[in-house]
Structure formats: structure tokens, C-alpha cells
Structure 1
Amino acid sequence: STNTSLVEGAEEALASIKSNDLVAVIIDYHSDAFRIGDLVSQIRETLADTALRIAVFVRAGNQQLYLEVLKTGVSEIFMRPFNPERFLSYLSDLSPDDNARSCTENASGNSLIYAEITMQLDRRRVECNGMDVQLSPIEFRLLQHFLQKPGYVFSRDDLIEAAWPRGAFVEPRTVDVHVGRLRRTMRAALGRDVIRTVRATGYALDERQWADRAS
């Protein structure tokens, strides 16, 4: 079973997490009543030794609040109004029961493989050269989209449709920020860039760009 606690305000939230064993904190951020960056930092400092996940609700159309949340690097952002099924799926993934975990670990599952990148779709896991790579949910979905058609140039609209909730307000600059984060993460894992920018068009997963430079 899973216990939940509902609190109001940043101070009450911080006091609550000190006395509970948590797997996630879900924040409804709808005003400037507190600084989201400060709250997320304090939560992480308080629970530094746990694999805590932080999700935030933001009203669609409020780009300023969305960008503030984006900068914090939280694990998931839900744009109001959101698909309830997606939120329920997110909750169910937080703490699967032992039987479900055992089945997942023993299943072969579907994988996407390109260069030294392996994505295990059923386990939501990415490996580069056998080492785990940590990605946010949006970055995971972006990489999944790239891996499904390596070399294909996706427009920003294509990537928005693939990685964000339907109907979410997402500016092209927001796509650039997430792709930039994904590119830096993959560069750190592989030692080279595998995401190519195509000016005025979009982005592609393209190992050949490195081969061309090395030749």
C-alpha cells in the first residue's frame, strides 16, 4: 500500500517530508507564492540520500511559470489540463509491487539500439556502453523518438507531439532546451555528439556526423 499526505504551502511541505518515507513529491505550482527553484533545492537537500522523484503541475499557457519549473530539472511536468491516465500511469510507476518488479526484471522486453545506445522500453532504461544513463521523462521520450528513425530529421513540432502531452503549450525554445540537455547527457556518456542540428529544420540522431569528422 502507498501512503499519501496533502499539505499546503512550502514550509508545511518541507516539515512534512522530514518525517515521512517518500518516493515522490508532487507540487501544484500556480502562483508566485513561493520560489519553485528554492523549494525543489531544499527538498533535494533534505532527502539527498533517497531516489526521490519530483513532479510539478503548471497551468497551460503560463510560459513564465513553466520555464521556472523547467530550470529546476524536476522529473516530470504536468500541464493543466492534463490527461488523468498519464498521471495515473506516472503514479503507478513510482513504487511497483514486488511481483510486478520481478516480472519486469525477468522479461526480455522491447529494445531500441543505435551505436552504443540501448533503450529498454519496458524498463524505461537507457544504457550507453553498458552504463546507465539518467534521463528525465521528456528526454527519454525524445530519445525514443530519435531512436525509432535514426538519421531522420524531426521538426520541433514533431518532437513536441512525441514528447509532450497533447494540447500542451510548448514554445520552440523549450524544445531546444530539452534537446540541448539530452545532447549534453549523451555526449558525457559517449564522448561525442550523436544529435545533429539541422538549421531552420530540426534535429536528428546521426552517428555519421562523428564518423565524418573523424575521417
Structure 2
Amino acid sequence: MSGAREVNRDRPCVLLVEDEAAQRQMLSYNLEADGYQVVMAEDGEEALLVAAETSPDVIVLDWMMPKVSGIEVCRQLKTRAETRGVPIIMLSARSEEVDRVRGLETGADDYVVKPYSVVELMARVRAQLRRTRAAAVGQRLEFGDIVLDSETHRVIRAEQPLKLGPTEFRLMATFMEKPGRVWSREQLLDRVWGRDIYVDSRTVDVHIGRLRKALCRHGGDDPLRTVRGVGYALG
């Protein structure tokens, strides 16, 4: 296997799928220098396994690979419920419009033609992460009278600072990135704690309770909604 599998949820995780070692090393170096954690795969089969194991936040995927092509990897990932929402940036030497269209229609969220500018590719990774993990790339998030500043690691409600532990902060960031979305306990465990750590699903309820208490400490309605039999949502 090509990369470490332990994922720290405090930093965005990029799955890099590239069969050329030199390209893999160069991209990994630049992604890590930008503050991302990188897990890697050398072929399509390994990519499908690593994606299932690590739940990456974005996937950089080469089209031409041994065993399973990038286009087939993309198709399979977009049919799986657990990876359907993960942005995929397709890398390809195929520059014809028909190839670009095929890649996008298969489910790729972006398409970059080789040879490419590393600076541009890093910008495209950041753009995809702003859609899925805005807090992790330094965005200021707002919902009603609640403001979450990921750079200063502060949450303010009605101009009153809230005291949140690290887990409660990650929970709040997850909710504020996608207001209205219902998160199951299992999804929150994967997103906030990570798959490599065993935590009982009831632990989620405990931390949700702490978060609710902190959010309502200075008054105001509880912004978190319990969806019976499903999970939790903001708003």
C-alpha cells in the first residue's frame, strides 16, 4: 500500500490516486505543504479500498491506471452512498472535449488536463473543499446568530463567545457546513471521530448534549434538531 491509513479529522484528507511514482510524490509533497493529510493509492483497485477505509474529503484521481481505470473508479464511488458526496478531481492526458464530457458525466466534479500547473490543481482542491469542508479550509461560517471562525477556533452566539471542547467544535463545524442536512450517528462518528477510532454511537448523544448546553448558555432557542430514528441536524 502507498500511504498511511490513519486519518486525523482536524485536517482535510485528500486521497491521491496516481500510478506514476514521481507524480504521486510530487503531488503528495505539495498537498501536505498546503496543510492536507494525504492517503495514496497506486491503482484503481487500491483506490476503492482506501476510499472505503478512510472517507476522504476530496479525491484526486488519474484516469489511466492499471487494474481498474480512473473512470470506472469514479463511477463506482459515485454509486456508493458513503462516497457519493466526495468531490472527485479527474486528472487525464485526454484533452478532447468528448473525454472531458465523459469524465464529468461519469460523476467527476472537476477535470484537469495533463500537463497541469500544480498551483492551479491546489486551487481546484481548495475550491472543492470549500463546498464540503468549509471550516477545514479557514472559512468563517454563519447560521442565524451563530458565527464559527475556524481560523481562531471560536464560536460566538449573539455576540457572546461560547466555550466548546474540541469534539463539540468539530460537531458544530460539521453542522454549520451543511445546515439542514440530517446526519446519522454513524456519519457523525466517521466525520468527527474517524473510522480508525472505536467510539460507541451513544457517545455522539453525550457530545450533542454538551453542544446544546453550550449553545443555549446565554439564552436563545436550541438550534439543533433531533430527527427521531435518524440523527441530528442544524435548523
Q: Same fold (TM over 0.5)?
A: no
The TM-score normalised by the length of structure 1 is 0.45
The TM-score normalised by the length of structure 2 is 0.41
